[in-house]
Amino acid sequence: MATLKVPSNVPALADDCDNLRKAFQGWGTNEALIISILGHRDAAQRRAIRKHYADTYGEELLRSITDEISGDFERAVILWTLDPAERDAVLANETAKKWHPGNPVLVEIACARGSKQLFAARQAYHDRFKRSLEEDVAAHVTGDFRKLLVPLVSSHRYEGPEVNTRLAHSEAKLLHEKIEHKAYGDDEVIRILTTRSKAQLLATFNNYNDTFGHPITKDLKADPKDEFLKTLRAVIRCFTCPDRYFEKVARLAIAGNGTDENSLTRVITTRAEVDLKLIKEAYQKRNSVPLEKAVAGDTSGDYESMLLALLGKE
């Protein structure tokens, strides 16, 4: 499901670090060399490169990158080079500090990651920012969004396959009742979405569809401009169909006048080692155009080359 392509014969760690150092030095930066190395190494290999680079040259690799490149290319390389948990921590911190209704990043981190990944992101947040993710979300988010997002980012869901079918039926009815009365921020709605296992939630949403004849997300479109309803739909889609959820994020980032580089970079860097192949398939099916072609048509230069490398272009 990942699109990352690591060479069958990976160079020695010292050689990777030496070549990166050479890419940063001299009259100009060798961006192609940076992409050829970092754009084709998995998380464990990138982690080892960062450590060896710091030990050898007395400088953090990320500092060398920011000193030599800039703009969208820099952001893509930095986000990709970060450990996945550290990357989530950085994205979460950016979002919490500049939070506004409709920003989906906290939902993605809380709902499109496994329990261990979310826990690791919270720990990375502690280590990097010397605060908890929960307290920063609580400090910057308000109203029903705070009621939803604080327990979402705090959760540690059970990840087993067990399902209580009777509970799924009763909670599907409960959700329908609350939605029917437009009680979208009701404590019971929040409780179900923020505490139940993924398997249990999928059973509940399937029961909702079977009982009421349509998906729960359809009933959460009563007001298309309501950002809280949009957030609830994002929560459900991240649980039920993350590939189609992220396909839509990528599609909207590319569509229209101008590119939303932050969203496009986020999708590609966070999913390249997870399910970007499925996202590419969903994009092709939905748009009849390969995602690589759409990205190439909307980006340029080294930024384009970095994204295409992560998309698996040969």
Does 254 show up as a binding residue in the annotation? yes
Burial of 151 (C-beta count, 10 Å sphere; 0-12/13-18/19+)? middle
Question: What are the Cα distances from residue 29, in Å, to 6, 70, 199?
Answer: 23, 11, 48
Evaluate whether 3 touches 272 at the Cβ level (below 8 Å). yes
- Tell me if 177 is assigned to a ligand binding site: no
Q: Is 299 annotated to bind ligand? A: yes
CB burial string 158-193: b at 16+ within 10 A, e below: eeeeebeeeebbebbebbbebbeeeebbbeebbebb
- 3-state DSSP percent of the chain in helix, strand and coil, to 5: 70, 0, 30
Q: Is 258 annotated as a binding residue?
A: yes
Q: How far apart are the first and last CA of the chain?
A: 17
Q: Tell me how far apart the alpha carbons of residues 312 and 1 are, in angstroms, rounded to a whole number.
A: 11
CB–CB of 189/175 below 8 Å?
A: yes
Whether residue 24 is annotated as binding a ligand: the answer is yes
User: Residues 283, 251: contact at Cβ < 8 Å?
Assistant: yes
With the C-alpha atoms ordered 96, 190, 183, 208, is the resulting torsion angle positive or negative?
positive
Q: Which amino acid is at 22?
A: K
304 is in an annotated binding site: yes
Q: Mind giving me the DSSP string for 86-126?
A: HHHHHHHHHHHHT--TT--HHHHHHHSS-HHHHHHHHHHHH
Q: Which two tokens stand for residue 30?
A: 């060798």
Question: What angle do the packed helices 71-81 and 261-271 form, to 10 degrees?
Answer: 20
Which residue ranges make up the annotated binding site for Ca(2+)?
24, 26, 28, 68, 254, 258, 296, 298-299, 304
Which residue ranges make up the annotated binding site?
24, 26, 28, 68, 254, 258, 296, 298-299, 304
